Structure 1
Amino acid sequence: MKSLLTNKNFIYLFLGRIVTNMGDSIYYVASMWLVFELGNKSTFYTGLVGFLILLPKAMQFFVGPFVDRWRIKKTLIITQILQSILILIIPISYFFDFLSVQMILIIMPCIAFIEEFAYPTQTKALPLILNKSELIKGNSLFSFAYQGVDLVFNAVAGVLVASIGAISLYIVDSITFAIAALFFSLLKVPQDTEHKFLEEKNLQLTISSYFKELKMGFLIVFNSLIWVFLIGSSLINFCIGITMAILLSFADTLGGVEIYGLLLTSLSAGSLIGALLGSTLGKYRVGILSIVCFILGSCSWTFAALVSSPVFSPLFFGLAWIPIGAINVLFAGVLQSIIPNEILGRVSSVIQSLGVVFMPIGSLLGGYLATLVTSKIVFSFTGVGFLCIAIIWLVHPTLRALPKVKEMSAKTFKLNFEVIKSNDRKID
């Protein structure tokens, strides 16, 4: 851990990540509540905005080939500046009295789309500035930055929305993205590693080579065992999509936007605890550990809905997110260590896209279902998703038998990189 904190490149990337996440937390809470208010507290609108925000995540595989070719530092800076500018449109439109739900529904997915270039680029940068042995710790700290900032700012944003209003927060939010761009401008990616690869691949990305590289990402995933993990990931993300669409309505029955911020804070706290436990839990067999964690997660998620308490609902909701945080950190480190960096962008974007492809559908469905039955009933139903994942891992022999993290290799996932390299040369 000490070596990470003395690595200036990691520090700049880490600080940029923290400030970016601050901006994400602020605009997400402010925008969801603003849509909820402007839409007369209709879950249909919150479900729709959730769908539009999550849709770019499901299509992240389209950005993979670009992430693998574009300069890391330049990509990170431009994405932050663009988000800073877009965020300002909302307070400006408010001051000139032409702000509407429709405008927010347009701007939010645009910002979400830009984010899909930023996060895979950060993932790609880590193996270039850290040693292989430091990747798990680096990912744990990144998850700490992601969840730790959310832990504070989801709650803070909820309180600030209630006290000073959502519009004022957008101005603050724009500044945070500008500061993140400043931190990323100080980053120095090892030029010998990145420049050599970019020279070999050539920065010119033709339409033909783009689709070939896009296809390559899918072939790597589906010609290995990685796709098996995506079954459970897709299922739980579908349930998460449903939950996020109705969470604001559920919170409103318990007290209002402050409770909404508290629920999101509990989500972040659970994910953060899971991330911090990632390295420790990696000492145990991943297969058995995952089954136990997801069963406990299912129980906690369901209790959070059934108790309907401003105190105990956030508590149980946070407990349900601990296994998600732990598993995310474990597998992020594993994949970064076994997949070559020159194809990591497209592979990670395909995995991310396929993992969340059902989340926007869940959000749209959740918003609609909550207009038919209470948000509490819908919330209770989604807890079943965790239990289904535990069952999938239990009945699948490969998942159930997964060894400790340090014992995993490319062979564990049946990855054949000789074939991949051969195909990559044909693309060039």
Structure 2
Amino acid sequence: MYVPFRDNVLFRNANLRRLVFGRLVTNAGDSVYAIAAMWLVYDLTGSSAYTGLAGLLTMGPQALQVFIGPLVDHWPLRRILVSTQAVQAVLVLVIPLASYLDALSVWVVLTVMPLVSFLNQFVYPAQNAALPRIVDQEDLVSANSLLSLAYQGVDMAFNALAGVLVAAVGAVTLYLLDSVSFAVAAALFIGLRVPKTSESAGGEAEKDAEPGDDPTTTAAAVVTDGGDDADGSATADVDEDSSYLADLRAGLSFVRGTILLPLLVTSVVANGTLGGVWATMPAFADARGGPEAYGVLMAAVAGGLLVGALVASWFEEWPLGRLTVALYAFSGSLWLAAVASSSLVGTAGLLALALVPVGISNVIVVTMFQTMVPDDLLGRVMATIGSISTVAMPLGSAAGGLLADATSASYVVAGGGLGLLFVAVYVVAIPSLRRLPRADELETLRRTPTE
């Protein structure tokens, strides 16, 4: 199997090692936390409506990434990563403390979950913005695969482990493990050094933005940095004429009028249906064996995404339009077959296979964004993309939970397969997406007037 250590990029680049291992540790805790939190809500209430509400509150902050992007582009990235991990380490301790004081209720859990999720919205745009600054462009696919490996690989192992641990020691105890993982990740991120973007490859400072410059085409439209000096301090001050609102508009303006906008429609629909899936998965798994089954199914999801990330490099030469159609048609069909299977092994195996194409697509598309978007707009643009693509997920979670209580969790989970099939049909129907060439052949993200 392909392993994304092209030319030993992980061993050549100390900053990449810190970023990857920091993500690996924090995602180990996140995986345990995600399983423990959703199962704890279901265990306390026995209702998919409450797990749907938990999904709404947890995924809702993802829609706020668009407002966080300008902050990510201006604040030192290392400071963002360290501080968010430290605060989360303290927050998750509220659950075991409440349990110890005999004050634990579903509302305590539903209060902590969105706060932890909100802090995570700073982490992923910061990591995505840091990556193209700390690796060479030719290593981006390999580096993104490594981050996906750290994310999905840990998920696969710890999702399954969390299900077993929930059954063995209870969900509350796992919050203690999560707190430790956040603290360790903060320690790893302390050593990260992110080069500033205000210097060009030749070492000269980029020109300041002139009045009337188009922020969608000028990398220096807003003089930003987000990098660190060797001592970790911020390296550039924000231009006094720039403002938070101007930065926010810059990110939105870049997305508008590019192929990103119609591409994001697919994410909105697919994520809306998948939001319902995550909300009803505890009930779906409970009918197949309880918390252990929940861990197995969530491990299957992570495993499929992991394999997809590992083999993504094999598909770099495929035209993006045709590749997307093939991947999502295959994925949606396997997903529906997984729901129809009567055995846990069959469901888990087919679900894992269904997520492989999604893992491939995730790496290829993120690499395209990082390649085509100017570095000093990357935090804002990635945050905007994250907000738009996930806006339907919390709503889908709430609706899915209510629908599962009224009908069956299996019907809602099957909707995830329909959402994936929609992506394939939609891309076929939109010429600007269907005709997308290979990522390295894209000269611009802008659509032509005829598209």
TM bin (shorter chain): over 0.9
Measure the CA separation in 1 of the matches of 2:199 and 2:296. 42
Q: 1:179 and 2:188 equivalent?
A: no
Q: 1:340 and 2:345 equivalent?
A: no
Please list, as runs of the form range in 1=range in 2, the aligned pairs for 1:264-413 lying within 5 A after superposition.
264-409=298-443, 411-413=444-446
Deviation at 1:283, TM superposition (A): 1.3
Contact 1:302-1:383 at 8 Å conserved across structures: yes
374-383 or 82-91: bigger deviation: 374-383
Q: Which amino acid aligns with 1:37?
A: D
Q: 1:202 and 2:237 equivalent?
A: yes
Contact 1:52-1:109 at 8 Å conserved across structures: yes
How many correspondences in the alignment? 412
CA distance 1:236–1:265, change in 2 (3 Å): same
Q: 1:20 and 2:30 equivalent?
A: no
SS at match of 1:202: coil
Task: With the length of structure 2 as denominator, give the TM-score of the two structures.
Answer: 0.88
SS at match of 1:254: coil
Judging by fraction of residues, say which structure has more helix: 1
Measure the CA separation in 1 of the matches of 2:236 and 2:245. 15
Task: With the length of structure 1 as denominator, give the TM-score of the two structures.
Answer: 0.93
Q: CA-to-partner distance for each residue in 1:90-115, whole Å, 9 max, x for gaps?
A: 11111111111001101000000000
Contact 2:297-2:348 at 8 Å conserved across structures: yes
Q: 1:32 and 2:67 equivalent?
A: no
Q: Which amino acid aligns with 2:247?
A: E
Q: CA-to-partner distance for each residue in 1:114-145, whole Å, 9 max, x for gaps?
A: 00001111111111111111111100110111
Q: Which amino acid aligns with 2:306?
A: L
Q: CA-to-partner distance for each residue in 1:143-201, whole Å, 9 max, x for gaps?
A: 11110000100000110111011121111110000000000001122358589743897
From 227, 245, 251, give the equivalent of 1:211.
245
Aligned to 2:212: none
Unaligned runs of 5+ in 1: 416-428
Q: 1:139 and 2:174 equivalent?
A: no
Please list, as runs of the form range in 1=range in 2, the aligned pairs for 1:75-224 lying within 5 A after superposition.
75-190=80-195, 197-198=224-225, 202-203=237-238, 209-224=243-258
Please list, as runs of the form range in 1=range in 2, the aligned pairs for 1:247-258 lying within 5 A after superposition.
247-258=281-292
Contact 1:70-1:203 at 8 Å conserved across structures: no
Deviation at 1:308, TM superposition (A): 3.3
Measure the CA separation in 2 of the matches of 1:382 and 1:27. 23
Contact 2:312-2:360 at 8 Å conserved across structures: yes
Q: 1:6 and 2:22 equivalent?
A: no
Contact 2:372-2:445 at 8 Å conserved across structures: no
Deviation at 1:382, TM superposition (A): 3.0
Aligned to 1:238: 272
Unaligned runs of 5+ in 2: 1-5, 206-223, 226-233
Contact 2:277-2:415 at 8 Å conserved across structures: no
Contact 2:197-2:375 at 8 Å conserved across structures: no
SS at match of 1:308: coil
Measure the CA separation in 2 of the matches of 1:254 and 1:48. 23
CA distance 1:164–1:24, change in 2 (3 Å): same
Aligned-residue identity in percent: 39
Q: Which amino acid aligns with 2:429?
A: V
Measure the CA separation in 2 of the matches of 1:219 and 1:346. 10
Contact 1:128-1:193 at 8 Å conserved across structures: no
Q: Which amino acid aligns with 1:298?
A: G
Deviation at 1:337, TM superposition (A): 1.4
SS at match of 1:289: helix
Deviation at 1:203, TM superposition (A): 4.3
